[in-house]
Amino acid sequence: MVDHLFRHQYGKMVAILVKIFGPSHLATIEDALQDTFLKASLQWRQEMPHNPEAWFIAASKNRVLDLLRQIRAREQREADFPHSSVAREINEYFLDHEVEDSQLRMLFLACNPSFSRSEQICFALKTISGFSQKEIANALLEKEETIKKRLQRARQKIKAEQNSLSYPAPSQIEDHLQGVQQIIYLIFNEGFHSNRRDSLINKDLCGEALRLCKLLLSKENFRSGAIYALFALLCFNSSRLESKVSNQEIVDLKNQDRSQWYLPLIQLGRDSLMRSLADFEDRSAYHYEALIAYEHIKASSFEATDWSAILDYYQQLYKLLPHDAVLLSRASVLLQMKKFEAARQTLNQIEASKLAARAYLYEAAWAELYSADAQWEQAKEHLQKAIKSCSNQLEQDYLKKKLADINKV
């Protein structure tokens, strides 16, 4: 209960306190919230307050006032100032629209161009989403000490650059928005294709990406076709989360129970996708990824999937995003269409090293191609390579099952 509440409130509190004190005091603010969390953990063992959320907000506000006095005393050498006026000012900052506005400003701060991409994701997950260093380390498959150092570097850069919690200048909005969208996209993908060894998905990361994207859409000035398309993509993929794993085994798209797909999210995604196409002129990689996901979603069965439409969308996507991962997806579609020679040619264009942690999918695609031609030894060889390079236990088990099926031939 305490952990859930802390996660839920943490991002709100950080955003408001940074708005009050400024980004340079971020470390102090995070310490104050940790103090409040520890206080709650100790006090609530004996008796849970009637309204835990209100208690946490009130306790955090009081800690804010303590901090404000300390900082004002240190900077202005004035230990006393009217308590009531400060309290009223802080209360106004906790109005819902102010909370959302502050969190959005923090999201733009997270895509600071001086941050590395890994620092951006860690900073966003910690300061906006309330993930602990350990949770971030688990989600990103990194050592906790590595995450700690990334966060320290980010805070140091903010302090050195004297960043303010403000929106970018109008001329810079588009560039910053692209950075914000990519952070949200990467956070979601870390959840949808979890790098954790013992689980395939991380629902917390997926849910947080959806929340941040929805927060971005709450501001009319930030809306674009790309953002609506990104939101649609997240909705479509989130709708399938419950069907991806069954009894601790991966269920591939072909065998997923489509009745488990969550209809409200599908409808929300469809509405967002239609709006991105009808109300805006911009076209992005997110548009084509969302259109591909929608083709899968709207098909009544795997066999009824319009693979030709999906292949065309991948061709359009590759023009915008010429990456080997897109070629791999295109090769997989060609395999489904039984266009084996075209699939072979596409796979030959791919450099497996550029696929990083997903290189095992490249080996699995070759195995499928050789299996289609009954070249079992070559198929087994590539499946063994895929198993060896795969870090997730559930995916390893899935590949081992395929290998066992070939061994029976």
Question: In the predicted model, what is the mean pLDDT of residues 337-364?
Answer: 92
Question: In the predicted model, what is the mean pLDDT of residues 226-251?
Answer: 92
| Residue of 146 and 83 predicted with greater confidence | 146
Question: In the predicted model, what is the mean pLDDT of residues 217-244?
Answer: 92
Under the banding of pLDDT at 50, 70 and 90, the label for residue 82 is: very low
Per-residue model confidence (pLDDT) at position 72: 66
**For residue 383, what are the CA distances in angstroms to 129, 140, 293, 392?**
38, 25, 26, 15
Q: How far apart are CA 228 and CA 274, in angstroms?
A: 9
Under the banding of pLDDT at 50, 70 and 90, the label for residue 269 is: very high
Question: In the predicted model, what is the mean pLDDT of residues 267-289?
Answer: 95
Per-residue model confidence (pLDDT) at position 392: 81
Q: Could you count the other beta carbons within 10 Å of the beta carbon of residue 195?
A: 16
In a domain, 50, yes or no: yes
Per-residue model confidence (pLDDT) at position 355: 85
Under the banding of pLDDT at 50, 70 and 90, the label for residue 233 is: very high
Question: In the predicted model, what is the mean pLDDT of residues 42-50?
Answer: 76
In a domain, 327, yes or no: no
Question: In the predicted model, what is the mean pLDDT of residues 325-354?
Answer: 95
Per-residue model confidence (pLDDT) at position 159: 80
At residue 221, does pLDDT exceed 50?
Answer: yes
Under the banding of pLDDT at 50, 70 and 90, the label for residue 5 is: low
Q: pLDDT (tens digit, 9 = 90+) per residue, 308-323?
A: 999 999 999 999 999 9
Least confident of 118-122, 192-196, 238-242: 192-196
In a domain, 128, yes or no: no
At residue 53, does pLDDT exceed 60?
Answer: yes
In a domain, 66, yes or no: yes
Largest CA distance in the chain: 83
- Which residue range is the domain that position 39 belongs to? 1-94
In a domain, 41, yes or no: yes
In a domain, 233, yes or no: no
Per-residue model confidence (pLDDT) at position 404: 93
In a domain, 366, yes or no: no
Counting the structural domains of the chain, the total is 1
In a domain, 360, yes or no: no
Per-residue model confidence (pLDDT) at position 279: 92
